[in-house]
């Protein structure tokens, strides 16, 4: 078996796995009513950026876009496409393992470079037409952020060697600040016209990052780290899809002995009735589950952002009409999932108190979401108008 064929088979298997995950959510209804309209609207908006520069970009300095590229550079990770069985079947075949790691690292670097290049392509109308950058400057910035991505991939790899979560967070924040200071120095060189120095810095960073990355992958400890990273890569997309689709969501497994909220489980309602008891149970389960909270916030925030950004009035009106129906249906799905998953609560689903509590809670939470939508939508529209 060759390292190239082994990597190719695992890469194709990974693509099929990701396709299967997305296929569970992107059925024909989602594609017809959400995905396809989103692609069409995004294409129209991007085309309008080339024809006329939008007013909201006028007051934004170039440094903010530079910082956005810096944040995108942190999104990459080294993927070696290792599996648990490699500890048994490939542990003695060092040459084959090294080739698999090398191909995986090369593909990871290519994927992250493609992500950075896509970000530049999306913002290219502003960089050319509004900030009037020349192509030699654009390639200097592109080269720097690709080299920075390679460096940060190595940095995030070494951060995984820390066993303490607090140490990882603290060191990650410190490195984020340090690299931001260095990037500000590179931005100063770019602003002052020292493009040759920017190219030189980029080449040095890229060469050093690739060299030390390959040295790190040759170590025996990289096998365990690579397997853990691969497991996280496979499950990250599933967690994202499950957070957006409660009907296929798996319960969140927590290691806390006590919940973060309602630790002493005191009563929420002063007067105890079957309706308030069922409502209290749903509220506590909903608040304690981070996926429910994040899904509720994501639906509200995405709709708010769409209402603020999309210029078409009829699309805004359509979103305002559909949002209460959508959020109410989502809450109902979560409600059914909570009470149907436990035999102790499932026996109450046919009672009148159950339907009364469900109708009351879903209505209240829908009203709260709509209220937040109007508040944040109004504030965002006012701020956008002010900056225009």
Residues 220 and 284 in one domain: no
Last residue of a domain, one of 244, 266, 299: 244
Q: Report d(CA 375, CA 307) in Å as an integer.
A: 12
Let me know if residue 148 belongs to a domain: yes
What is the predicted pLDDT for the residue at 223? 72
Evaluate if residue 361 carries a pLDDT over 90. Answer: no
* Rounded CA separation 147/144 (Å): 5
Query: pLDDT averaged over the chain?
Result: 79
Do 209 and 65 fall into the same domain? yes
CA distance 55 to 383: 13
Return the pLDDT at 185: 92
Q: Within this chain, do residues 34 and 86 fall inside the same structural domain, yes or no?
A: yes
pLDDT, one tens digit per residue, over 121-139 is 999 988 888 888 889 999 9
- Say if residue 342's pLDDT is above 80: no
Q: Same structural domain for residues 321 and 223?
A: no
CA distances from 107 to 77, 102, 111, 148, 159 (A): 11, 9, 6, 16, 21
Domain hosting residue 353, numbered range: 274-387
What pLDDT is stored for residue 168 in this prediction? Answer: 83
Q: What is the pLDDT of residues 88-107, one digit of tens each?
A: 666 667 777 788 888 888 99
131 and 48 within one domain: yes
Q: Are residues 86 and 211 in the same domain?
A: yes
pLDDT at 53 over 70: yes
For residue 268, tell me if it sits in a domain: no
Task: Identify whether residues 156 and 230 lie together within a single domain.
Answer: yes
What's the pLDDT at 317? 80
CA distances to 249, 267, 289, 337 from 260, in Å: 21, 16, 10, 22
Which of 78-87, 286-295, 340-349 is predicted with the least confidence, judged by mean pLDDT?
Answer: 340-349
DSSP state of 221: T
| In a domain? residue 251 | no
Of 202, 226, 244, the residue at which a domain comes to its end is: 244
> What is the rounded CA–CA span in Å between residue 327 and residue 121?
34
Q: Are residues 203 and 313 in the same domain?
A: no
Look at residue 237 in the predicted model and tell me its pLDDT: 60
Q: Clarify whether residues 53 and 184 are in a common domain.
A: yes
pLDDT of 157 higher than 60: yes
Share of the chain above pLDDT 90, in %: 18
Distance CA 247, CA 243 (A): 10
For helices 352-387 and 313-340, angle between their N-to-C axes, nearest 10 degrees: 150
Whether residue 209 is found in the same domain as residue 295:
no
Residue 118's pLDDT is 93
How far CA 317 is from CA of 33, 139, 176, 240, 323, in Å, comes to 16, 42, 41, 28, 10
Residues 164 and 98 placed together within one structural domain of the fold: yes
Last residue of a domain, one of 244, 265, 298: 244
Query: Is 218 among the domain residues?
Result: yes
pLDDT digits (tens, 9 = 90+) for 197-240: 999 999 999 999 999 998 888 887 777 777 777 777 766 665 55
229-262 as b/e, with b when 16 or more CB fall inside 10 Å?
bbeeeeeeebeebbbbebeebeeeeeeeeeeeeb
Does residue 174 sit in the same domain as residue 288? no
Largest CA distance in the chain: 75
The answer to whether residue 113 scores a pLDDT higher than 70 is yes
Choose between 19 and 66: higher pLDDT.
66
* Residue 265 maps to a domain: no
Task: Report pTM.
Answer: 0.63
In a domain, 250, yes or no: no
* Distance, CA of 59 to CA of 69 (rounded, Å): 18
| Tally of structural domains, the chain | 2
**pLDDT tens figures, 244-282:** 554 454 444 445 555 555 555 566 666 677 777 788 888
Q: Are 112 and 153 in contact (CB under 8 A)?
A: yes
Q: Is the pLDDT of residue 33 over 80?
A: no
Cα torsion angle, 5, 6, 9, 10, sign: negative
249 part of a folded domain: no
Lowest-pLDDT choice from 172-181, 251-260, 277-286, 315-324: 251-260
Residue 293 lies in a domain: yes
Would the pLDDT of 169 be above 60?
yes
Among residues 369, 370, 341, 335, the alpha carbon closest in space to that of 355 is found at 335
């Amino acid at each position: 078996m060759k390292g190239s064929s082994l990597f190719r088979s695992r890469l194709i298997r990974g693509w099929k796995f990701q396709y299967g995950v997305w296929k569970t959510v992107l059925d024909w209804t989602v594609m017809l009513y959400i995905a396809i309209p989103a692609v069409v609207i995004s294409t129209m908006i991007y085309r309008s950026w080339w024809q006329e520069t939008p007013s909201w970009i006028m007051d934004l300095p170039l440094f903010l876009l530079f910082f956005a590229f810096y944040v995108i550079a942190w999104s990459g990770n080294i993927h070696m496409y290792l599996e648990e069985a490699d500890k048994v079947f490939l542990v003695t075949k060092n040459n084959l393992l090294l080739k698999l790691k090398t191909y995986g690292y090369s593909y990871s670097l290519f994927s992250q470079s493609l992500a950075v290049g896509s970000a530049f392509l999306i913002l290219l109308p502003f960089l050319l037409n509004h900030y009037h950058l020349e192509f030699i400057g654009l390639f200097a910035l592109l080269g720097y952020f690709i080299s920075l991505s390679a460096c940060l991939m190595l940095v995030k790899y070494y951060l995984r060697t820390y066993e303490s979560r607090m140490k990882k967070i603290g060191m990650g924040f410190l490195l984020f600040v340090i690299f931001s200071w260095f990037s500000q120095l590179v931005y100063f060189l770019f602003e002052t016209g020292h493009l040759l120095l920017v190219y030189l810095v980029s080449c040095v960073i890229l060469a050093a990052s690739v060299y030390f990355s390959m040295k790190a992958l040759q170590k025996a400890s990289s096998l365990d780290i690579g397997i853990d990273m691969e497991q996280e890569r496979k499950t990250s997309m599933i967690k994202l899809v499950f957070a957006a689709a409660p009907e296929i969501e798996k319960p969140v497994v927590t290691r806390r002995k006590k919940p973060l909220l309602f630790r002493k489980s005191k009563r929420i309602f002063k007067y105890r009735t079957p309706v308030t008891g069922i409502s209290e149970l749903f509220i506590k389960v909903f608040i304690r589950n981070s996926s429910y909270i994040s899904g509720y916030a994501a639906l509200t925030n995405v709709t708010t952002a769409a209402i603020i950004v999309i210029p078409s009035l009829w699309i805004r009106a359509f979103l305002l009409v559909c949002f209460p129906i959508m959020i109410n249906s989502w809450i109902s799905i979560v409600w059914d999932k909570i009470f149907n998953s436990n035999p102790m609560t499932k026996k109450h689903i046919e009672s009148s108190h159950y339907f009364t509590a469900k109708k009351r809670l879903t209505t209240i939470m829908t009203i709260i979401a709509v209220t937040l939508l109007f508040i944040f939508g109004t504030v965002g529209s006012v701020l956008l108008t002010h900056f225009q």
